[in-house]
Amino acid sequence: MALALLAILIVMVLGSVAPELVRLRQFLWLRSWLQWLDERLGGHGLWNSEFGLALVVVPLLASTALIDLTLGGTLHGLLGFVFALVVLFFCWGPRDLDDDARRAARAESAADRSEALQALGGNAVDTPVRSVDLIDSVFVAGLTRWFGPLFWFVAFGPTGAVCFRLLQLLAQSAELRNRLPPAQTAAAEQLYAALAWLPAQLMSLALALVSDFDAVGKAWREHHAAHGQGFLHLDLGFLSAAARACVDIDDEEFVSADGSPIRDEAVEEARRLLWRLLIAWLVLLSIIVLAGWAS
């Protein structure tokens, strides 16, 4: 776990000191992989069923695990660490979340706010973008870009990070979804939600600890009660509900007389909260590493 923590810190530093490297985080090869599979298996029933998703994901995960296992014992694990570092770097992001959140917080026109929402992964809307929409998008992007890859990387190494990123892309990328049969798309959405559920729960817990515990707990409970589902349901909306409870949102303050939004500070507060969450996670990992060394 100490090497995992070191890899995470290196990836974060690289994203800050060498932002041009972010352009390397491309998964264009996944599009070619789906096309290759569809050309050869498109007529088979298995490919058109939800089980066809295994034909997409399993070979890639098996290859990652095999490379990780092979390199793990080479040069006292140095090559294995380098491989894990490279995989985490590609699975992190792909865009710079802090930069996108800053742009969203400083957007002063309706067009800028709409563009900021789409950069954060939100859907384009015809009405003026509200602060609550941007705040939701900041935290959802935090889950998909930072905390999801981080959690599964710590849990299962490079294979875990690749698994999370692959399913996230297959579930949410419009271009990739169009290349999959409907049954596979639905399966990808369910599997991604299952993988994102635990990191999202831990984000909510950390948010309660670094912010307003009572407000987060109340919002979390009310979200589950409103949906009439148990604690284990895969609706991830509880994360947005918890985030809203910690940020002072008054959309009326950020809408001018003609209906166009103007600059606000609510998104900036959400951005700072996201950093506090990340620091809390890293501190916890550091404590676990130190406890392991002490024992």
- Residue-wise pLDDT for 87-142, tens only, equals 999 999 888 999 999 999 988 788 888 899 999 988 766 677 888 899 999 999 99
In this model, does residue 203 exceed pLDDT 90? yes
- Pick the more confident residue, 66 or 73: 66
Round to whole Å and give the CA distance between 17 and 51. Answer: 42
Per-residue pLDDT, averaged over 21-43, amounts to: 89
Per-residue pLDDT, averaged over 79-85, amounts to: 96
- Residue-wise pLDDT for 150-194, tens only, equals 999 999 999 999 999 999 999 999 999 999 999 999 999 999 999
Per-residue pLDDT, averaged over 68-82, amounts to: 90
Note the pLDDT of residue 77.
86
In this model, does residue 82 exceed pLDDT 80? yes
Note the pLDDT of residue 264.
65
To the nearest 10°, report the CA torsion of 146, 130, 167, 274.
10
In this model, does residue 234 exceed pLDDT 90? no
Query: Residue 104's closest CA among 266, 270, 267?
Result: 267
Round to whole Å and give the CA distance between 75 and 68. Answer: 13
Note the pLDDT of residue 59.
97
Confidence band (pLDDT; 50, 70, 90) for 263? low
Confidence band (pLDDT; 50, 70, 90) for 266? confident
- Pick the more confident residue, 210 or 20: 210
Please state, in angstroms and as integers, the Cα–Cα distance from residue 274 to each residue in 71, 138, 207, following that order.
34, 8, 8
- Residue-wise pLDDT for 33-61, tens only, equals 999 999 998 878 889 999 999 999 999 99
Number of neighbours of residue 98 by Cβ within 10 angstroms: 17
Per-residue pLDDT, averaged over 264-270, amounts to: 86
Note the pLDDT of residue 122.
82
Residues 6+ apart with CB under 8 A from 153: 4, 7, 8, 84, 87, 88, 91, 160, 161
Note the pLDDT of residue 294.
66
Give the orientation angle of helix 28-41 with respect to helix 52-72, to 10 degrees.
Answer: 130
**Which SS3 state, helix, strand or coil, does residue 43 take?**
coil
pTM of the model: 0.92
Question: How many C-alpha atoms does 186 have within 13 Å on its Cβ side?
Answer: 7
